[in-house]
Amino acid sequence: MLKRTLVGVIRSHEQTGDKAKDPLLKSHFYKLSKDKAWDEVISVIKKMQGYKLLHEVQSVGEIVLEKRTMFGRTMDITVSVIGVNPLTSAVDIYSASRGSLGDLGSNYRVILDLYRALDKKLASYKVKS
C-alpha cells in the first residue's frame, strides 16, 4: 500500500485490465451474459455510498461515475462491462482524479472498493483467475 501511495504522489489515474502487473488490478470475469452482468453491476453501484452515477450507456457497456474525496477533489470513474462470450463478461474500471497533483493512491483504493462490492454480490458467478 505504501508503494501505491508513493506512485500516487505523481500519478492521478489508475486502471484495470488483462495485462495489469498488479494482480488486484486484473480484469474481473463473471459467468454472466453481458446484459445480466450489466444489470447486476448497475444495481451494485446504485447502492454504494459516495458514488454519483452520471450516465450509463448499455449498448457500449459503459457506466460513468463521480466520487468526491475527503479532500474535496473529484474523481471520474468509468466502469466497462464487456461481453467476452455469450456466457462470460468482464468488468474493467478506469479512475482518474481531476487536477494536476497525484492522488496518493485514492484511485487504486476506489477500484478495489468497487471490485470488492461487485465480487461480494456476484461471488457465485466469479471466474477464478
pLDDT value, residue 102: 73
pLDDT of residue 129: 63
- Residue 10 has a pLDDT of 61
Radius of gyration of the chain (CA): 14
For the stretch 58-81, pLDDT in tens is: 999 999 999 998 778 899 999 999
User: Which residues have CB under 8 Å from 27's CB, separation 6+?
Assistant: 16, 17, 18, 20, 90, 91, 92
> What residue segments make up the domains of the chain, in order of their start?
2-125
Q: What pLDDT does 71 receive? A: 77
State residue 122's pLDDT score: 97
Q: Which of 102, 50, 60, 51 is nearest to 81 (CA)?
A: 60
Helix or strand run (H / E) with residue 92: strand 88-97
Cα 64 → chain centroid: 10
For 5, 32, 62, the CA distances from 85, given in Å and listed in that order, are 36, 9, 17
CATH, range 2-125: 3.30.310.220
Residues in Cβ contact with 29 at an 8 Å cutoff, skipping those fewer than 6 apart: 84, 88, 89, 90, 91, 126, 127, 129
Residue 115 half-sphere exposure, CB side, CA atoms within 13 Å?
23
pTM, two decimals, is 0.90
Q: Mark the ranges of the chain whose per-residue pLDDT is less than 50.
A: none
